Amino acid sequence: MVTVFPNVSETFVVSNILQVLDQGKKVIILVQKKKSSKNSSQSELYKRYNLDEKVLEFREPKKSFQRYFKAIILLLNPLIFFYFIKCCIALQRISLEFIFKLNYYKPYRKANLFHIHFAFSGDLVPLLKKIGFIKSKIIVTFHGIDAFLREEKKYSNIKKRYDVIFETVNLITVNTPYLKEKVIGLGCSSNKIKIVPVGINLKLYAPKILPKILPDKTSIRLVSIGRLIELKGHEYGLRAVKILIDKGVNIHYSIIGTGNLFEYLRGLVNELELHNHVELLGACSQEFIIKELELSHVFLMLSITDSEGRAEAQGLVTAEAQAMGLPIVGFKSGGVPYAVSAKTSILVEEKNIKELSSAIIECVQNPERYSRMSLEANAWANNNFDVSKMVDAYYNI
């Protein structure tokens, strides 16, 4: 279960699904909104595995007459009628939507397992399990953004839904100890939470040359991947690159991603006179990203704690970069320290661009150390972020 599928930024969900399919399991992808395969960064895999045929979008009649007529027909089913009443009592309101949701989930009420990616994607399923309609086991995987809830009244309904999740589901998984503490803070018992790092398909992230080699004369290539939002901290990468350029270091910096800060970052590139050194590449396919990682020498992981108190829970891109043999330079923020090791990374305090620029120089000034970091990065990713191990962990638990 996810809210939207496919989603260009959620390659880990697709990787999870493909691994389960490779194990011979039957998969149905339940979504509130289905998008075309063009919205996937893994369009080739999407087509090869016929994922489009496995996606079932929730739909209900829009016109009033059709809604009432269809609802009356569905209520003739004693199962739907009984649990509609229970649903209304549990939620203390009456809505025709409940009838259509019950009908939508009815074929899967006795499935082996519901795996909900992102807690807010659970829809009514945890509640339907609580009242007895859903008979399946349920895993809910928190990914980070779903663990940061603001305190305004309009979020009170989400908190109530989370209380139901924590009470009824069989298992909560998180990707780092950092995220575990955040979910406990939301009211979940620590006994129900297991740490399962989100994995990647290592077959896709296989470097052609390992260890990576620093160039003698051409520029050092830095890369960051992530949405262009405050949380991802791209601004600080640009300011650190400016320091390096002013010191005479030959740098090329690529930023992959799209978001509401695109124009701001483009303006900052011009303001800092970095247009000859920085590329804002926008949203890119997984194939393009892998090629860019192949060309790059250092991955900048710049996530910060944003103005709403949110931080990176794991930073899956660090696993992808390390698998490609890239050392990580970035900030000690959120769960990022759990996604790297001291042998694969140099992390500094959040937003400290002087330390960040010094760390980049430290990483690349010694070719022998750089080669060791590159080898360690690849080994670390292979040992800790194999998607097949992630799926096995779900089943073993």
Quote the pLDDT of residue 394. Answer: 81
* 294 in any annotated domain: yes
Name the percent of the chain lying above pLDDT 90: 81
DSSP state letters, 295-324: H-SEEEE-----TTS---SS-HHHHHHHHT
Same domain, yes or no: 172 and 274: no
Q: Provide the pLDDT confidence category of residue 154 given band limits of 50, 70 and 90.
A: low
Quote the pLDDT of residue 19. Answer: 87
Query: Is there a contact between 210 and 371 (Cβ–Cβ < 8 Å)?
Result: no
Quote the pLDDT of residue 98. Answer: 97
* 260 in any annotated domain: yes
Quote the pLDDT of residue 354. Answer: 98
Quote the pLDDT of residue 388. Answer: 86
pLDDT at residue 381 above 60?
yes
Tally of domains in the chain? 2
Same domain, yes or no: 184 and 230: no
Same domain, yes or no: 191 and 230: no
pLDDT at residue 3 above 60?
yes
* 323-345 pLDDT, tens digit each: 999 999 999 999 999 999 999 99
* 341-355 pLDDT, tens digit each: 999 999 999 999 999
Quote the pLDDT of residue 326. Answer: 98
Same domain, yes or no: 284 and 356: yes
Q: Residue 164 belongs to what domain range?
A: 2-199+390-396
pLDDT at residue 64 above 80?
yes
Q: Provide the pLDDT confidence category of residue 151 given band limits of 50, 70 and 90.
A: low
* Residue 295 CB partners (closer than 8 Å, separation 6+): 221
Same domain, yes or no: 157 and 253: no
Averaged pLDDT for residues 183-196: 94
Quote the pLDDT of residue 377. Answer: 98
Q: How far apart are CA 241 and CA 387, in angstroms?
A: 33
pLDDT at residue 1 above 60?
yes
Encoded tokens for 206: 């296989």
Residue count of the chain:
397
Residue 172 three-state SS: strand
Same domain, yes or no: 192 and 318: no
Encoded tokens for 76: 């003739």
* 206 in any annotated domain: no
Same domain, yes or no: 150 and 87: yes
Same domain, yes or no: 172 and 230: no
Query: Is there a contact between 2 and 220 (Cβ–Cβ < 8 Å)?
Result: no
Same domain, yes or no: 240 and 314: yes
Q: How far apart are CA 198 and CA 214, in angstroms?
A: 30
* 211 in any annotated domain: no
* 34 in any annotated domain: yes
Same domain, yes or no: 225 and 347: yes
Encoded tokens for 124: 């009514």
* 345 in any annotated domain: yes
* 28-51 pLDDT, tens digit each: 999 999 998 888 877 888 889 999
Distances (CA, A) of 14 to 7, 10, 252, 315, 331: 9, 7, 31, 17, 28
Query: Is there a contact between 314 and 293 (Cβ–Cβ < 8 Å)?
Result: no
* 321 in any annotated domain: yes
CA quadruple 127, 129, 131, 134: dihedral positive or negative?
positive
* 159-186 pLDDT, tens digit each: 888 999 999 999 999 999 999 999 999 9
Residue 116 three-state SS: strand
How far apart are the two ends of the chain, measured CA to CA in Å?
19
* 184 in any annotated domain: yes
Q: How far apart are CA 314 and CA 329, in angstroms?
A: 15
Q: How far apart are CA 388 and CA 202, in angstroms?
A: 9
CATH number of the domain encompassing residue 313: 3.40.50.2000
Averaged pLDDT for residues 222-249: 97
Same domain, yes or no: 369 and 252: yes
Quote the pLDDT of residue 8. Answer: 76
Q: Supply the mean pLDDT for the chain.
A: 93
pLDDT at residue 150 above 70?
no
Q: How far apart are CA 317 and CA 324, in angstroms?
A: 11
Quote the pLDDT of residue 155. Answer: 63
Same domain, yes or no: 109 and 258: no
Q: What is the pTM of this model?
A: 0.89
